[in-house]
Structure 1
Amino acid sequence: MNPADSGVPAPDLVVDGTGLHCVALLLRLRSEIDCAGPGTVVHVVTTDPAAPLDLPAWCHMTGHHYRGPVPGAQQSVHALVLAADALPTRADAPWHPRDEHVP
């Protein structure tokens, strides 16, 4: 099945989180989307069994848009779209909002 047929947009950016668990996965995701603009479609490849819970929760917290699992993918892939008004997060702890005194 073509992901576009399922309503999941094709990626502008793919983040490979293979072998990473929650903390490391979010650190990599945060790092790789840092320079991406609003509307960027990100596909996150993951082997973490908690990713289907962690990624939507992180998107909800930050304001990014979780689009769901990508159907028909060979691996576990989740789509999200970056929001213009997303809450900035800490580079060292992307599950925390960025303090104006900490990058």
Structure 2
Amino acid sequence: MQRSTLEDDFARTPTIFVGRVIHKIPPTSPYNSYEFTVEVEEAFKGTSVGAQIKVRTWEQGSMCGIGVVSVDSRWQIWLSENGVTSLCTRTTLDINRDRLALQALAKHSS
């Protein structure tokens, strides 16, 4: 199956930003989702700089989880409308991935 284009994923993802993890609540068991809070440093869509957003994911890669998130780590997060992200989205620790293209898309969509 071919991956969607960046433009298509941008259009269908409600919230996209780069941010720093400021708090996390560990999972209660390995297969549960867990929550962490991210402070937005650069907003591409659906939020603004300085916002604090609660994000949910899983540890297990088999569940598309992004693994263990550490406080102070910086992420580029692609967030669904229900506040969930995963490795099955474009969420990445590489905060510069497609950054110029995202800035251009953000400018066009505003």
TM range (shorter): under 0.3
TM-score under structure 1 length normalisation: 0.25
Relative to its length, the structure with more strand (as a share) is 2
Relative to its length, the structure with more helix (as a share) is 1
TM-score under structure 2 length normalisation: 0.24
